Amino acid sequence: SAASVPKAAGAPSTGKPPVTPDSVINLDHGDPTMFEEFWRGTGAAAEIVIPGWQTMSYFSDVGNVCWFLEPGLDHEVRRLHRLVGNAAVDDGYHVLVGTGSTQLFMAALYALSPPAAAPMSVVSAAPYYSSYPAVTDFLQSGLFRWAGDASSFTGDAYIELVCSPNNPDGAIREAVLPSGGSGVAVHDLAYYWPQYTAITRRADHDIMLFTVSKSTGHAGTRIGWALVKDRDVAKRMAKFIELNTIGVSKDSQLRAAKVLGAVSDAYELPEAAQHRLFDYGRRKMVERWRVLREAAAASGAFSLPHETSAFCNFTKETAATNPAFAWLRCDREDVEDCASFLRGHGILTRSGSQFGADPRYVRVSMLDRDDAYDIFVKRLSSLH
């Protein structure tokens, strides 16, 4: 059988195994495999070849604050932000590269927490991304520690994580605590791209985090970037990455640069216009949200956040928000733990309790492959 045929030496892994109608469907992680279909179609436009002798040095750009940043990635990051209009990259912004935006998040905590008598408090308004508390506290640093929901925080020294659109509920957010003094905000804009939401303003916060994981779907490449206004903060973040991993894979940076360049080319070069990532992504997300809302209504047992919309400066059209996660509430009186209820029906999700919220809620990934997503929606509609 196919299963017993050994893989060719060097054949790449393919991620989660294929699903069948009886499979348990795992939508716990935000694994962005939905985008594979798009990138199957782009061919050489998103391919790179790296000869054996290249990318061997630790260094990329010795004159840069981020000395391990490939200039080609710096260029494509700025080019894409200028095209989309979602974030300011001029006026002295530094680009820092990280092994995913997860490493840059840790670098920001380090950079913003000078050694002091008491650790810096790290907060975010609930429901907040479940990795924020986990990543903040796993090494039990003396520099910073998780202090919970920003909405109920009292104190004047803090780092507030602002995720917009928010993981898990898709809400468009602003900081809830004041900036200035000893309070600083880190803006996680992983989902501030046209496939998920209207681009309503050019964000120009002090520290903004982005990632290819959610913009193009290349989570396995493990490349994120930070746009940082202050040179000293940028230097401290680069120092963290130097101490943590002595830089970031150049091979991955070159691949990320190629992929981001292919996204921009499709909007800027007429000959590349048939493969437009944000058009594809928006079409998919609109359709997925449409069938999900139908399924929730058909079941009568679930509710979803209300749809909001706004004028998108990138597409020049009014667009609804199509979050990368569904924040699903189970309305059945007899269900107090929605995640275990769904698990009993072969659907793995992440409990609201992990986001500092009610376990009647779960977070469901909207970015899986079509086959898994279709089975999920069918199953959900049948749960009365």
Binding site for ligand PMP (CB under 6 A): 30, 100-102, 129, 163, 167, 188, 190, 211, 213, 219, 224
Question: Which residues sit opposite 223 in a β-bridge?
Answer: 99, 100
Dihedral of alpha carbons 65, 70, 75, 77, sign: negative
- What is the H or E stretch that residue 211 is in? strand 207-211
CB of 174 to ligand PMP, least distance (A): 16
Q: Tell me how far apart the terminal alpha carbons of the chain are, to the nearest angstrom.
A: 39
Q: Which residues contact 166 (CB under 8 A, 6 or more apart)?
A: 127, 128, 129, 172, 173
Which three-class secondary structure state does DSSP give residue 347?
A: strand
Do 160 and 181 touch, CB atoms closer than 8 A? no
- Complex with ligand PMP: residue 191 or 376, whichever CB lies closer: 191
Encoding tokens for residue 185?
């905000």
Cα dist. 312→80, 171, 195, 217 in Å? 16, 16, 11, 21
CB of 105 to ligand PMP, least distance (A): 7
- Complex with ligand PMP: residue 100 or 247, whichever CB lies closer: 100
Do 301 and 383 touch, CB atoms closer than 8 A? yes
CB of 161 to ligand PMP, least distance (A): 9
- Complex with ligand PMP: residue 170 or 261, whichever CB lies closer: 170
CB of 299 to ligand PMP, least distance (A): 26
- Complex with ligand PMP: residue 263 or 383, whichever CB lies closer: 263
CB of 148 to ligand PMP, least distance (A): 18
Which three-class secondary structure state does DSSP give residue 22?
A: coil
Do 329 and 361 touch, CB atoms closer than 8 A? yes
> Tokens 């479940």 identify what position?
130
- Complex with ligand PMP: residue 29 or 379, whichever CB lies closer: 29
Of 210, 305, 322, the C-alpha closest to 256 is 210
CB of 9 to ligand PMP, least distance (A): 28
CB of 312 to ligand PMP, least distance (A): 20
- Complex with ligand PMP: residue 168 or 381, whichever CB lies closer: 168
- Complex with ligand PMP: residue 227 or 295, whichever CB lies closer: 227
Do 103 and 245 touch, CB atoms closer than 8 A? yes
- Complex with ligand PMP: residue 189 or 199, whichever CB lies closer: 189
Do 360 and 335 touch, CB atoms closer than 8 A? yes
17 prior amide bond cis, ω within 30? no
CB of 219 to ligand PMP, least distance (A): 5
Of 121, 162, 163, the C-alpha closest to 141 is 121
Phi and psi angles of residue 303, each rounded to the nearest 5 degrees, phi first:
-130, 160
Which three-class secondary structure state does DSSP give residue 348?
A: strand
CB of 188 to ligand PMP, least distance (A): 5
CB of 224 to ligand PMP, least distance (A): 4
Amino acid making up residue 271: E
- Complex with ligand PMP: residue 35 or 341, whichever CB lies closer: 35
- Complex with ligand PMP: residue 35 or 129, whichever CB lies closer: 129
Do 251 and 121 touch, CB atoms closer than 8 A? no
Encoding tokens for residue 190?
């992983």
